[in-house]
Amino acid sequence: MSNSINTEAESLRDAHSYSSTVRSILGFTAFAVTLLPIPIIYFRLLPAYQRHAWFLLFYTPFLCLITLCYLFYVRDSLARAIFANVLDPPPPPDPYYREPLGDRMRRGFRRIKATVLLILPALLVLTSMYCVSRYFGTIDRSVALSVESYIERTTPTETGAVTQERESTGRRKSSRATRPAGPAAPDSATLSAPHSLPLPSDTAAVRKHVLLTTEIDEIPQLARLTALFVGAFVALLIAVSLMALKEYAKEALGLSEHELMFGRYRRATVEE
């Protein structure tokens, strides 16, 4: 009898050690996801406007950290919801009497809640991937609108500059006809021409210029870009945090792998 008790104690210690290792790995992963937006924005792994990137660089990790703290704050409620069938399993239905409607609804609700909690991390990971894919499409459309706006702003300016240059050239020719030839003075319009602005025909240069110089209040679809970027990291963080909190709750409640797989654990049977 003592051998069986010692074997059971060793199995419980092994289960807790396994749970502690998994919890540490998941906790480190959650912390890494919280800081992940910083290198992604710094090394430009995801395209973004420069002004918007500085906003996301500080706001996204902060929001991830707040989400992580909140999940840890409600860890007790999450633990009771995740292990409800283990901590307080419902009584089996009476085979001789029809179960009341209220009991059947409560039993069905518990099953639905358990199923949702079971597949929620996978759904959140898929949500993160969806946000990333939609972000690429949204940033392309936003940059295209910014490029169109840039071309509309620069094309009339260039036409006016050409007209002004022609008029000044005609005035210089007429003055040269009445004055003796001498060194020509540089044209003021030529000195003040914005040589740093890319030509509208150079699409790559215009796109780069738009990403670098567009002000944050002039970015098309700014709210959608922010929601998709932040949602990709927050959804992934919640998925990892839920798995880590499950391991944390399992260790805190003293549950073994046997209890999780087969439900209520009968210690009296082991102690006999």
174-186 tens-digit pLDDT: 444 444 444 444 4
* pTM more than 0.75: no
What is the rounded distance in angstroms from the CA atom of residue 5 to the CA atom of residue 12? 11
Q: Is 1 helix (H, G, I), strand (E, B) or coil?
A: coil
Count up the domains in the chain and report the number: 1
Residue 191 lies in a domain: no
Domain of 249, in residue numbers? 2-92+102-173+197-271
132-178 tens-digit pLDDT: 999 999 999 999 999 999 888 887 544 444 445 455 555 544 444 44
Whole-number Cα distances in Å, 166 to 161, 190, 199: 9, 12, 20
Residue 61 lies in a domain: yes
Task: Pick the closest to residue 106 from 83, 85, 121 (CA basis).
Answer: 85
Whole-number Cα distances in Å, 61 to 10, 12, 39, 72, 225: 41, 37, 11, 16, 16
Q: Is 30 helix (H, G, I), strand (E, B) or coil?
A: helix
180-234 tens-digit pLDDT: 444 444 444 343 344 478 887 788 898 899 999 999 999 999 999 999 999 999 9
Residue 97 lies in a domain: no
Residue 26 lies in a domain: yes
